[in-house]
Amino acid sequence: MQCVFLMIWKVPPEASTIDIANSCFPNLQFYEIIMQRLSFDFPASTVNLAKIGELAAHAGQKAGFSNVNIGDIQVAIDEACTNTIIHGLEKDSTRMFQLIIQWDAGKIEILIHETGVSFDPESIGLPDIEAPLEDRSAGGLGIYLVRKLMDEVKYSTDEDGVKTLYMLKRVK
């Protein structure tokens, strides 16, 4: 014989998640962290880079970053999206990638999901930034900037072939 228990929590309409958590676990202190999130589907075209830069600046301001760090976030998101558009999706504007920008007071997270050409960022050699002009390579600067300007950068691919670039920067 099978028994099914149905548990119903009756909550006053004005109770917040924090109130509920505090009443259930009186020995613990819960804090509310409000994370804002923007999600967009963009076609693989560099035409949208300026718009993406504006979105990053808006989120960076809301998260409390300085103007210098907002500039850094704009460079990182531009480089990451450019790589996705040019290398991952081969500038085919009929294909889309998903850009998620989420932030709270203290950090910003940027995720790019796409199903394009496989890419191993570790295979890109870092540029020799001390080299004189005649010996400088023009490649590899984009990934170098992303790694330099953000606090965390991770690449992953799930079993369905969806590739994700995750970047995080904390307000200091």
Partner 1 sequence: MNITETTQDNVSRVELEGRFDANTCGTVEQFIREKIKEGMLQFVLNMEKVPFIASAGLRVVLVFARELQMNKGNLCLANLQPNVLRVFEISGLKNAMRIFDDMESAARSFND
Give the binding site for partner 1 (CB under 8 A): 46-47, 49-50, 53, 67-68, 71-72, 74-75, 78-79, 82, 85-86, 127-134, 136, 138-139, 141-142, 144-145, 148-149
> Least separation, in Å, of the C-beta of 127 and partner 1?
7
Which of 20, 96 has the CB closer to partner 1?
Answer: 96
Cα of 66 vs its chain's centroid, Å? 18
Which of 24, 126 has the CB closer to partner 1?
Answer: 126
> Least separation, in Å, of the C-beta of 144 and partner 1?
7
Which of 15, 126 has the CB closer to partner 1?
Answer: 126
> Least separation, in Å, of the C-beta of 42 and partner 1?
13
Is the distance from CB of 168 to CB of 152 less than 8 angstroms? yes
Query: 112 has which bridge partners?
Result: 99, 165
First to last CA, the chain: 59
Beta-sheet pairing, 163-170 with 152-157? antiparallel
**DSSP 3-state assignment of 135?**
helix
Which of 19, 147 has the CB closer to partner 1?
Answer: 147
Question: Both tokens of residue 117?
Answer: 């050409």
> Least separation, in Å, of the C-beta of 149 and partner 1?
7
Interatomic CA distance for residues 38 and 100, integer angstroms: 6
